[in-house]
């Protein structure tokens, strides 16, 4: 309530300003939309509709105003004390500006420079060194629940390459929620499906990273060495949209100079356990004590329907804590790609602690249907639960 009153007071103060200070689309709103919304709401991106010009934004102003104040976009609430992981969250000042713009009639201010039209869907990194596509032509299922499909792509290398970055461009952006990428070493023909993307949890040793709409592309300061004959496995999370749509995509990869240093993934969590039925949040945790100085870059959490919040903390020997990652409202069908633009140093002796809150009380959360109050075990079944968080060290 206090925060709401502050925002209302800020809007009232803006309303008392002179006409020279009035909030207009070209001067104030267009830069906010470009910075916060266009990563998803551009032509050919994952957003349900584009927000690329004054007419489109004015038409959706009431809806935008509501989601701005409710904080319901982006759909996954992720925070970090270190660096932002997505550009989508509006500051309180930006929320006040948008509220005031709507309240005062959504003026465009035609005598101000017109914002340049946003470029259509493009790579979020430098021009790829190679673009890989699935050979098979398949469609996203028209109906049903979200599901993953595995593709194995061959970069056709003739010499070793250091994979330093990748990005994904889906053919049907609105139907693609996320993708995991891993390495299939030469000779491991069945390894991708049976070992890397297991229902009981990912194999950290083979991971490259994750991609999701609205998040930056995956990158590393060290990279992963690919040898001739190695392939890349991509597990794509699809969301049926009510009609059959092409499931194809391009995987853009960028190589760097060969380096003996390699990305390493460390998995925290546990394979076995049971969530007892009943009221109250049940919190599971695991941690690692760093045996040397490390540089931490990103995270891949693995949990399902009963998870509510995911946290990763850095704990100094003194007990001082820093929140590295907090996903405030976990949704297994809206998983992000949680990586900072650059790695952070963590000193020897520090602890990296992961915590996941679960709720097996049968209460609805995030619009989900009520769940039966029965014990929930950890395991490979789709009605089972998982407790894993993978840490990317550069």
> Token pair of 289, please?
């004590």
Helices 92-103 & 2-15 angle (0-180, nearest 10): 50
Q: Which of 40-54, 152-166, 214-228 is the least confident region? A: 40-54
pLDDT score for 280: 79
> Is 288 in contact with 266 (CB distance < 8 Å)?
yes
pLDDT score for 178: 93
pLDDT score for 7: 44
pLDDT above 60: residue 371: no
pLDDT score for 91: 78
> Phi first, then psi: what are they for 231, rounded to 5°?
-130, 170
pLDDT above 90: residue 310: yes
Q: Which of 53-57, 248-252, 340-344, 385-389 is the least confident region? A: 53-57
pLDDT score for 119: 60
Q: Which pLDDT tens digit goes with each residue over 235-269? A: 999 999 888 889 999 999 999 987 668 899 999 99
Of the chain, the percentage scoring pLDDT greater than 70 comes to 84
Q: Which pLDDT tens digit goes with each residue over 95-134? A: 888 888 988 888 887 666 666 655 655 788 889 999 999 9
Architecture of domain 264-393: Sandwich (2.60)
pLDDT score for 201: 83
* Mean pLDDT taken over the chain: 84
Q: Which helix (H) or strand (E) holds 10?
A: helix 2-15
- 163-to-272, 307, 391 alpha-carbon distances in Å: 34, 33, 18
User: Mean pLDDT over residues 188-193, rounded?
Assistant: 62
> Is 140 in contact with 175 (CB distance < 8 Å)?
yes
Residue by residue, DSSP assigns 215-256 as SPPEEEEEEEEE-TT-EEEEEEEE---SS-EE--EEEEEEEE
> Is 153 in contact with 251 (CB distance < 8 Å)?
yes
Buried b vs exposed e over 224-234: b needs ≥16 C-beta within 10 Å? bbbeeebbbbb
pLDDT confidence bin for 45, thresholds 50/70/90: confident
User: Mean pLDDT over residues 157-181, rounded?
Assistant: 92
pLDDT score for 120: 58
Contacts of 237 (CB under 8 A, 6+ apart): 146, 147, 148, 176, 177, 178, 179, 333, 335
Q: Is 100 helix (H, G, I), strand (E, B) or coil?
A: helix
Strand order in the sheet with 294-302: 264-270, 387-393, 294-302, 338-346
Please tell me which residue, 154 or 367, carries the higher pLDDT value.
Answer: 154
Residues in the chain: 394
Whose tokens are 């999370």? That residue is: 237
pLDDT score for 124: 81
CA 208 to chain CA mean position, Å = 15
pLDDT score for 15: 41
pLDDT above 50: residue 288: yes
CATH code assigned to 130-256: 2.60.120.230
Torsion sign across C-alpha atoms 235, 177, 252, 161: negative
- 177-to-76, 106, 204 alpha-carbon distances in Å: 11, 32, 21
Global pTM value: 0.81
pLDDT score for 17: 40
Q: What residue spans in the chain does CATH classification 2.60.120.230 cover?
A: 130-256, 264-393
pLDDT confidence bin for 302, thresholds 50/70/90: very high
> Phi first, then psi: what are they for 125, rounded to 5°?
-130, -175
User: Mean pLDDT over residues 347-361, rounded?
Assistant: 95
> Is 238 in contact with 245 (CB distance < 8 Å)?
no
Q: Which pLDDT tens digit goes with each residue over 5-38? A: 344 444 444 443 435 578 888 888 888 888 778 7
pLDDT score for 352: 98
pLDDT above 60: residue 367: no
pLDDT above 70: residue 173: yes
């Amino acid at each position: 309530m206090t925060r709401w009153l502050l925002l209302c007071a800020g809007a009232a103060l803006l309303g008392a300003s002179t006409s020279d200070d009035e909030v207009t689309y070209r001067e104030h709103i267009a830069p906010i939309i470009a910075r916060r919304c266009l990563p998803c709401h551009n032509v050919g991106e994952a957003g349900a509709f584009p927000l690329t010009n004054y007419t489109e934004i004015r038409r959706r102003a009431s809806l935008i105003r509501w989601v701005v104040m409710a904080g319901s976009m982006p759909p996954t609430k992720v925070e970090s004390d270190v660096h932002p992981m997505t550009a989508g969250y509006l500051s309180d000042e930006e929320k006040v500006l948008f509220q005031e713009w709507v309240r005062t009639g959504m003026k465009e201010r035609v005598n101000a420079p017109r914002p340049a039209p946003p470029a259509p869907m493009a790579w979020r990194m430098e021009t790829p060194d190679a673009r890989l596509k699935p050979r098979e032509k398949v469609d996203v299922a028209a109906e049903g629940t979200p599901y993953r499909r595995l593709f194995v792509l061959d970069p056709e290398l003739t010499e070793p390459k250091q994979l330093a970055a990748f990005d994904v461009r889906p053919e049907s952006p609105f139907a693609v929620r996320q993708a995991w990428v891993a390495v299939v070493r030469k000779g491991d023909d069945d390894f991708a499906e049976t070992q890397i993307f297991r229902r009981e949890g990912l194999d950290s040793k083979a991971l490259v990273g994750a991609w999701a709409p609205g998040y930056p592309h995956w990158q590393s300061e060290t990279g992963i060495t690919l040898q001739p004959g190695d392939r890349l496995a991509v597990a794509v999370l699809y969301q049926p949209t009510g009609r059959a749509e092409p499931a194809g995509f391009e995987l853009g990869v960028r190589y760097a100079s060969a380096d003996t240093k390699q990305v390493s993934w460390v998995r925290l969590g546990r394979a076995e356990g049971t969530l007892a039925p009943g009221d109250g949040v049940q919190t599971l945790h695991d941690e690692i004590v760093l045996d040397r100085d490390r540089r931490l870059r990103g995270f891949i959490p693995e949990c399902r329907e009963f998870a509510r919040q995911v946290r990763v903390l850095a704990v100094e020997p003194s007990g001082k804590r820093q929140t590295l990652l907090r996903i405030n409202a976990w949704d297994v069908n809206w998983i992000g790609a949680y990586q900072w633009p650059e790695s952070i140093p963590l000193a020897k002796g520090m602890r990296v602690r992961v915590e996941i809150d679960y709720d097996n009380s049968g209460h609805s959360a995030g619009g989900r249907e009520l769940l039966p109050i029965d014990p929930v075990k950890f395991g490979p079944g789709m009605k089972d639960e998982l407790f894993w968080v993978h840490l990317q060290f550069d």
